[in-house]
Amino acid sequence: MTTKVANSPPDLEKLNANVARIEALSQRLIAAIAQKRAPNPALEAPGFELYAKAAGAWWAEALQNPTKVMEQQVSYWGQALQHYVEAQKALAEGEMKAPDDPTPNDRRFANPLWKTHPYFNFIKQQYLRNAEAMQQAIGNLEGLDARDRARVDYFSKQILDLMAPTNFLATNPDALEKAVATEGESLVQGLENLVRDIEANHGDLVVTLADREAFQVGGNIATTPGKVVYRNRLIELIQYEPTTEKVREIPIVIFPPWINKFYIMDLKPQNSLIKWIVDQGFTLFVVSWKNPDATYADVGMDDYVEDGFLAAIREAKAITGEERVNAVGYCIAGTTLSLTLALLKKRGDKSVNSATFFTTLTDFSDPGEVGVFLDNDFVDGIEAECQRAGFLDKYFMSRTFSFLRANDLIYGPAIKSYMLGEAPPAFDLLFWNGDGTNLPARMAIEYLRGLCQSDGLAKGTFTICGEKVSLKDVKVPLCAIACETDHIAPWKSSFAGVRQMGAKDKTFILAESGHIAGIISPPGKDKYGHYTSDGPMEAAGDWKAGAEKHRGSWWPTWGDWLDERSGKKTAARAPGDAEHPLLTDAPGTYVTEVPNA
């Protein structure tokens, strides 16, 4: 993209050409939007009941304590008016400068003009004062229970983030500067990016976070050598090729979440958890889940346990000749691993020697931020969508998780792509983030209703494969890794679930950072540390207060724990055996399949 030299005359020919391109792109945009699926109101916003509760609480507050409400309003009016007077005074003095700016630093407003230019500074200060006044008013509401208060606070913040002046061309100095410097070419390129994204998503707007052409699964990511040694309708089981002459007897089987793809653990060799485990001298199996379409509508949690978890454990045992495996579950797969362990305990099956849980919730009494989407107004809408389509489209899951970090995963990327006209970065983690999967209709509803809403595993009311199970039935030695700033599986909630498990041998590791970066944290970089403690697992806060902080990755700490529970060393095993022919190279076929719409 060419840029204009400051103060040079405009290139009218180029400007007119860009205007013509905008007209053509506008026609494509109209055609793309026309393909948008019929909206389901229940999936677009909270139900009316929440708004009614919030409005009712505010009016009750106004009637019962009018002085308090007026004080809040007068304070806000006074601040807004004072700032207006200060801005006018600065202009009247003939100086092109902004008044004093006491507002807090906010990375959205990094451009120096937000501080120095009177127009942009006035807009920024008024926006931040408006946001502060609204959040204060919501915080002072009485008459709402904790759950409703959390939802009102969350969705109000979503509105505030949406209305930030950075999100609009006329009030974004970065976008305006670049548009002038490029004779509008940046805006044309931004419109092209917008049209591309809407066309690619059949009328829905999903911001492309990473360059889709920069990565190839099995080409330059997900490249750790291995073979698919078993396949059924739900899984491909990958056995990785050894890199050491000797390996531990007991193999590891990793169950990744099926709401995303397994290669988050195998992006590049230098940050691949899969490669690291193999290099430590373990025989490693990893499950790659089928990306379902409508033909999987009746596949439920029972199927995921029987055809996923139990099948993978059975085949790994058969291939290695061992009686037990060490199982690992990540996120929703950790939750389901808990169900599987409880089921095996009921059946008297000792196939699992130890269990490891990555960022796993099993007690949903406090699911954290994601809980705002778990009330009936949303779940009813999800159920209706599942019944209509036969599956829950990855679009809905991706959008939900993106809104938990809206400025990072929606508005920030949208500004760069649509207003600045920038190409998406070649960033492997964001490429993976955009490569989501669908969920079978029955499984999605069983998980949301029975585990998330009813908290059935913690309460001992959830039935899996004909057995009613509880956390007390999880008896095997276990290690749980939670992440300190996890917005999907809050660490204290993860701790609460592990605390209730029936195992006598429990190890809890708290990693710094979030749901992904906290887990994919290889040794050597030392960007994030971790906490461990031999103290009792009672109150989460007390546990952390007494924990020891370690510099660097938690992987070696877990590796030592696993090594003690993996038996003696034996000759390294090549993938497969006579009964398990090699079906294809890792990463397999399921990970790249595109299901039927």
Residue 270: give its domain's CATH number.
3.40.50.1820
Whether residue 398 is found in the same domain as residue 508? yes
- Measured from the Cβ of residue 30, the count of other Cβ atoms closer than 10 Å reads 10
Q: What's the pLDDT at 404? A: 84
Give the rounded percent of residues in the chain with a pLDDT score beyond 90: 67
What are the two backbone dihedrals, phi and then psi, of residue 479, each rounded to the nearest 5 degrees? -130, 130
What are the two backbone dihedrals, phi and then psi, of residue 585, each rounded to the nearest 5 degrees? -75, 155
CA-based R_g, the chain, Å: 27
Whether residue 423 is found in the same domain as residue 544? yes
Return the amino acid letter for 499: R
Q: What's the pLDDT at 143? A: 78
In a domain? residue 2? no
Whether residue 422 is found in the same domain as residue 566? yes
In a domain? residue 507? yes
Max CA pair span of the chain = 88
Alpha carbon separation from 439 to 258, 296, 395, 548 (Å, rounded): 8, 9, 11, 39
Q: Which of 151-155, 171-175, 417-421, 440-444 has the lowest mean pLDDT?
A: 151-155
> Could you tell me if 213 and 530 are in contact, meaning their C-beta atoms sit under 8 angstroms apart?
no
**What are 200's two structure tokens?**
């690619």
Strands, E, within 170-275: which ranges? Answer: 226-231, 235-240, 246-248, 252-255
In a domain? residue 212? no
Whether residue 127 is found in the same domain as residue 259? no
Q: What's the pLDDT at 5? A: 47
Quote the number of domains for the chain.
2
Element housing 431 (H / E) = helix 428-433
Q: Between 107 and 58, whose confidence is greater?
A: 107
In a domain? residue 27? no
pLDDT-based confidence at 55, cuts 50/70/90?
low
Q: Residue 272 and residue 280: Cα distance in Å, rounded?
A: 13
What are the two backbone dihedrals, phi and then psi, of residue 577, each rounded to the nearest 5 degrees? -160, -170
Which domain-ending residue is among 134, 151, 171? Answer: 171
In a domain? residue 148? yes
Q: Count CA atoms closer than 13 A to 268's CA, side-chain side.
A: 9
Whether residue 161 is found in the same domain as residue 254? no
In a domain? residue 562? yes
Q: Over the stretch 329-340, which tens digit does the pLDDT of each residue have?
A: 999 999 999 999
In a domain? residue 472? yes
Q: What's the pLDDT at 50? A: 60
What are the two backbone dihedrals, phi and then psi, of residue 268, each rounded to the nearest 5 degrees? -130, 155
Which domain-ending residue is among 103, 138, 171? Answer: 171
In a domain? residue 560? yes
Work out the average pLDDT over 393-420: 90
Residue 420 has pLDDT above 60, yes or no: yes
508: β partners: 480
Q: Which of the 8 DSSP states describes residue 221?
A: B
Q: Residue 247 and residue 241: Cα distance in Å, rounded?
A: 11
Q: Residue 389 and residue 381: Cα distance in Å, rounded?
A: 12
464: β partners: 467
Q: Residue 360 and residue 489: Cα distance in Å, rounded?
A: 6
Return the amino acid letter for 255: F
Whether residue 260 is found in the same domain as residue 167? no
Q: Residue 450 and residue 542: Cα distance in Å, rounded?
A: 31
Whether residue 239 is found in the same domain as residue 119? no
Whether residue 148 is found in the same domain as residue 238? no
Q: Which of the 8 DSSP states describes residue 8?
A: P
Element housing 325 (H / E) = strand 325-330
Residue 378 has pLDDT above 50, yes or no: yes
Q: What's the pLDDT at 347? A: 97
Q: Which of the 8 DSSP states describes residue 168?
A: S
Whether residue 123 is found in the same domain as residue 252? no
Whether residue 154 is found in the same domain as residue 241? no
pLDDT-based confidence at 384, cuts 50/70/90?
very high
Alpha carbon separation from 457 to 301, 336, 480, 497, 507 (Å, rounded): 13, 10, 17, 9, 20
Peptide bond into 99 cis (omega under 30): no
Q: Residue 396 and residue 37: Cα distance in Å, rounded?
A: 12
Whether residue 75 is found in the same domain as residue 142? yes
Q: Over the stretch 481-501, which tens digit does the pLDDT of each residue have?
A: 999 999 999 999 999 999 999
Q: Residue 568 and residue 558: Cα distance in Å, rounded?
A: 18
Q: What's the pLDDT at 217? A: 97
Cα(first)–Cα(last) distance of the chain, in Å?
Answer: 37
Q: Which of the 8 DSSP states describes residue 182?
A: T
Q: What's the pLDDT at 21? A: 80
Collapsing DSSP to helix, strand or coil, 496 comes out as helix
Residue 286 has pLDDT above 70, yes or no: yes
Q: Residue 92 and residue 594: Cα distance in Å, rounded?
A: 62
Q: Between 450 and 78, whose confidence is greater?
A: 450
Return the active site residues.
331
- What mean pLDDT value characterizes the chain? 89
Q: What's the pLDDT at 1? A: 47
Whether residue 254 is found in the same domain as residue 331? yes
Which domain-ending residue is among 130, 155, 171? Answer: 171
Work out the average pLDDT over 569-584: 97
What are the two backbone dihedrals, phi and then psi, of residue 356, each rounded to the nearest 5 degrees? -125, 135
At which residue do the structure tokens 């406090």 appear? 366
The domain containing residue 243 runs over which residues?
Answer: 226-592
Q: Helix crossing, 118-139 with 66-92: angle to 10°?
A: 170
> Could you tell me if 153 and 140 are in contact, meaning their C-beta atoms sit under 8 angstroms apart?
no
Q: Residue 186 and residue 158: Cα distance in Å, rounded?
A: 28
What are the two backbone dihedrals, phi and then psi, of residue 2, each rounded to the nearest 5 degrees? -80, 155
